[in-house]
Amino acid sequence: MGGCFSKPKPVELKIEVVLPEKERGKEELSASGKGSPRAYQGNGTARHFHTEERLPAPHPYPGAQDCVEAAICHVKDLENGQMREVELGWGKVLLVKDNGEFHALGHKCPHYGAPLVKGVLSRGRVRCPWHGACFNIGTGDLEDFPGLDSLHKFQVKIEKEKVYVRASKQALQLQRRTKVMAKCISPSAGHSSSTNVLIVGAGAAGLVCAETLRQEGFSDRIVLCTLDRHLPYDRPKLSKSLDAQPEQLALRPKEFFRAYGIEVLTEAQVVTVDVRNKKVVFKDGFKLEYSKLLLAPGSSPKMLSCKGKEVENVFTIRTPEDANRVVRLARGRNAVVVGAGFLGMEVAAYLTEKAHSVSVVELEETPFRRFLGERVGRALMKMFENNRVKFYMQTEVSELRAQEGKLKEVVLKSSKVVRADVCVVGIGAVPATGFLRQSSINLDSRGFIPVNKMMQTNVPGVFAAGDAVTFPLAWRNNRKVNIPHWQMAHAQGRVAAQNMLAQEAEISTVPYLWTAMFGRSLRYAGYGEGFDDVIIQGDLEELKFVAFYTKGDEVIAVASMNYDPIVSKVAEVLASGRAIRKREVELFVLHSKTGDMSWLTGKGS
Ligand SMILES: Cc1cc2nc3c(=O)[nH]c(=O)nc-3n(C[C@H](O)[C@H](O)[C@H](O)COP(=O)(O)OP(=O)(O)OC[C@H]3O[C@@H](n4cnc5c(N)ncnc54)[C@H](O)[C@@H]3O)c2cc1C
Ligand code: FES
């Protein structure tokens, strides 16, 4: 990309274009990205949809009065590889020029609304600058996660060297497109003890698996089950926005599940899996047979094992109820967070505005040390200290003391006693796979479910995805790893669904993670475990930096703050299969005072 994104000069604007009937038909096909998706039966064979089986997709041109067409620039206004945000009628579009062709798409990422013009254009897709979601510029389809929806694709035509874009009001205002999906036509739906696909876990992996099956035309019964009392929700927001109510966190409204025939069993704990008879047993004795099974139970937070661990007002954060309770109790009082990892630090940051005091207790010398290294950890620690957070480092909790059953003090091994009315424990998690111990599904020594690149377990027809698995990481020589990230759980859920339909998909995404504290976001891509050096460009004091984590000669991960879109650029390069050498980074740091990143992609930033 070149460095100039100057505001385009509108050439002319024409609203209320009447489209001929045949033109509208064409546009509907391209807007959905496919003509007629295949529909899979339970036995894995494909058949075609009947028209009435498809949910009516919103028509991109519902009426002439709701359409806008405008010439938005001259063909020479954009260089190849350049993107621009352009006003059009009721909204904006993202205009992209790639290989001499123009594309017009939704301009905001459907995940959290990042401006995609600030993202990375590469290999026919645009990658979001905030958390790395990727969209195909030809179709607008979501190709890599996080998030569930795709972008609208608008019609472009070139006339007399001018670029015209045509779009509907609805699409311009919505800025997101849910892919065309099948709905359930199974007669047994909702009232039978057998299902075709059973998904244990309604988190990111489980939901994406169910949606992918429907997107691919699967029209048999799908049942998702969860320990929660809620429909799938945005778990990462729990520790960043502890006040958020379950309905604000929902990933999809209940009408969505009804419309596409995805059944969700809430407060439904699976206690046994009988793979011989293809059956699961729930805690209340209910049994459900399946034909294909996805295990996506995520993880359970570790608790303290010290004296007094049973006192009241000590929490881990897994559900909206946990998070809401913590803020309620912390308001105007003393909060202690145990563990200075991502979850603990996000909670500590959030509570500074609510609590009288916030203290963090951590075994290591600096927060995030193992993940981000000493220098970055120290810079972030300073940001917390500047916001009134007190740290107790290189120590651990020896006792939780109560008054009338409620937490009053946290006693540390260093003998220090910290006043506390509420305590949040963020010391890691273990895979929630206890219910599989008696099954013949393999677990490793730490309780993870090992899967191959297709997310298959050792038992045919049983797949696993998300925080509970170890899998071969393609771009790190297929090293078996566990990557508990929101984006990774989405990607694995999709691959599992594709392989349930015998599509032979493999997991190949580059891990992407983010955290947010005091209004600042830290982004991270790659897999940095075992890094032996960290090269930093920028200003740690100002919290405007990029850190490259290297092992030997190779960059294995990158983290940044206020340095977008470098993490997305690195993720894109790694995803393309190109290794980034330590030497390249050293030269960048030596010579680049401007923050120019063209060395990464061979194009201007
Ligand atoms: C507070 C918090 C903040 C986070 N922030 C971030 C972040 O900023 N960025 C990021 O990348 N990642 C973040 N993560 C991690 C991210 O949420 C996980 O990687 C992701 O949720 C994993 O998805 P999953 O589908 O594997 O499991 P989960 O989302 O954990 O879902 C597991 C599901 O399985 C169900 N379940 C478990 N056992 C059973 C059983 N026996 N029977 C029935 N159902 C069962 C659960 O009820 C749940 O529905 C955060 C995690 C937490 C807890
Ligand atoms: S806002 Fe785009 S991936 Fe999150």
Query: Which residue CA neighbors atom 21 of ligand 1 most closely?
Result: 486
DSSP 3-state of 93: strand
Q: Which residues face 293 on adjacent strands?
A: 198, 462
For residue 119 and ligand 2, the question of a CB distance below 6 A is answered with: no
Query: Which residue CA neighbors atom 1 of ligand 2 most closely?
Result: 112
Alpha carbon distance 194, 185 (integer Å): 15
Among 257, 216, 261, which Cα is nearest to 233's? Answer: 257
Segment (H or E) for 222: strand 222-225
243, pLDDT greater than 50: yes
Alpha carbon distance 576, 579 (integer Å): 9
For residue 239 and ligand 1, the question of a CB distance below 6 A is answered with: yes
Tell me the CA–centroid distance for residue 237 and ligand 1, in Å: 11
Provide the sign of the torsion angle of the four alpha carbons 121, 127, 128, 134, taken in this order.
Answer: positive
Nearest ligand, CA 514:
1
Strands 120-122 and 125-127, by their bridges, are: antiparallel
Number of neighbours of residue 553 by Cβ within 10 angstroms:
10
596, pLDDT greater than 90: no
Q: What is the pLDDT of residues 248-276, one digit of tens each?
A: 999 999 999 999 999 999 999 999 999 99
Q: Which atom in ligand 1 lies closest to the alpha carbon of residue 268?
A: 43
Q: Between the CA of residue 143 and those of 77, 149, 249, 427, what are the distances in Å?
A: 28, 10, 23, 33
For residue 152 and ligand 2, the question of a CB distance below 6 A is answered with: no
39-43 own/partner pairs: CB under 8 Å, 24+ apart: 39/182, 39/217, 39/218, 39/219, 40/213, 40/216, 40/217, 40/218, 40/219, 40/220, 40/501, 41/219, 41/220, 42/196, 42/220, 42/291
pLDDT reported for residue 2: 36
Among 368, 384, 365, which Cα is nearest to 376's? Answer: 368
Give the single-character DSSP code of 455: -
Tell me the CA–centroid distance for residue 113 and ligand 2, in Å: 6
Tell me the CA–centroid distance for residue 466 and ligand 1, in Å: 8
For residue 318 and ligand 1, the question of a CB distance below 6 A is answered with: yes
Provide the sign of the torsion angle of the four alpha carbons 353, 354, 357, 359, taken in this order.
Answer: negative
Q: What is the pLDDT of residues 21-77, one digit of tens each?
A: 333 323 222 222 232 334 444 433 333 232 223 333 444 444 556 899 999 999 999
Q: Which residues face 450 on adjacent strands?
A: 470
The residue with greater pLDDT, 594 or 567, is 567
593 pLDDT band (50/70/90 cuts)?
low
Q: What is the pLDDT of residues 427-445, one digit of tens each?
A: 999 999 999 999 999 999 9
Number of Cα atoms under 13 Å in the Cβ half of residue 400: 27
Alpha carbon distance 529, 464 (integer Å): 23
Alpha carbon distance 454, 472 (integer Å): 10
For residue 172 and ligand 2, the question of a CB distance below 6 A is answered with: no
156, pLDDT greater than 60: yes
Q: Supply the mean pLDDT for the chain.
A: 89
Least confident of 9-18, 95-104, 574-583, 596-605: 9-18
pLDDT reported for residue 12: 37
For residue 109 and ligand 2, the question of a CB distance below 6 A is answered with: yes
Nearest ligand, CA 126:
2
pLDDT reported for residue 589: 80
Among 382, 383, 336, which Cα is nearest to 361's? Answer: 336
200 pLDDT band (50/70/90 cuts)?
very high
Instruction: Report residue 360 as tokens.
Output: 């963090």
Q: Residue 146: is the preceding peptide bond cis (ω within 30°)? A: yes
Tell me the CA–centroid distance for residue 128 and ligand 2, in Å: 6
Alpha carbon distance 321, 313 (integer Å): 13
The Cα angle at residue 362 between residues 489 and 564, in degrees rounded to 5:
50
Query: Which residue CA neighbors atom 35 of ligand 1 most closely?
Result: 201
Least confident of 31-40, 199-208, 376-385, 460-469: 31-40
Tell me the CA–centroid distance for residue 507 and ligand 2, in Å: 20
Tell me the CA–centroid distance for residue 316 and ligand 1, in Å: 13
Query: Of the residues 105, 131, 150, 490, which should be mutated to test ligand 2's pocket, given the most ligand atoms within 8 Å of the CB?
Result: 131
Percent of the chain with pLDDT over 90: 83
Q: What are phi and psi of 122, to 5 degrees?
A: -165, 140
3, pLDDT greater than 60: no
Q: Are 490 and 131 in contact (CB under 8 A)?
A: no
Nearest ligand, CA 511:
1
pLDDT reported for residue 145: 98
Give how far the C-alpha of residue 325 lies from the chain's centroid of Cα atoms, to the nearest Å. 25
Tell me the CA–centroid distance for residue 204 and ligand 1, in Å: 7
Helices (H) and strands (E) in the chain, counts: 13, 39
Instruction: Report residue 419 as tokens.
Output: 């006043």
Query: Which residue CA neighbors atom 27 of ligand 1 most closely?
Result: 298
Among 89, 68, 72, which Cα is nearest to 19's? Answer: 68
For residue 102 and ligand 2, the question of a CB distance below 6 A is answered with: no
Q: Are 287 and 280 in contact (CB under 8 A)?
A: yes
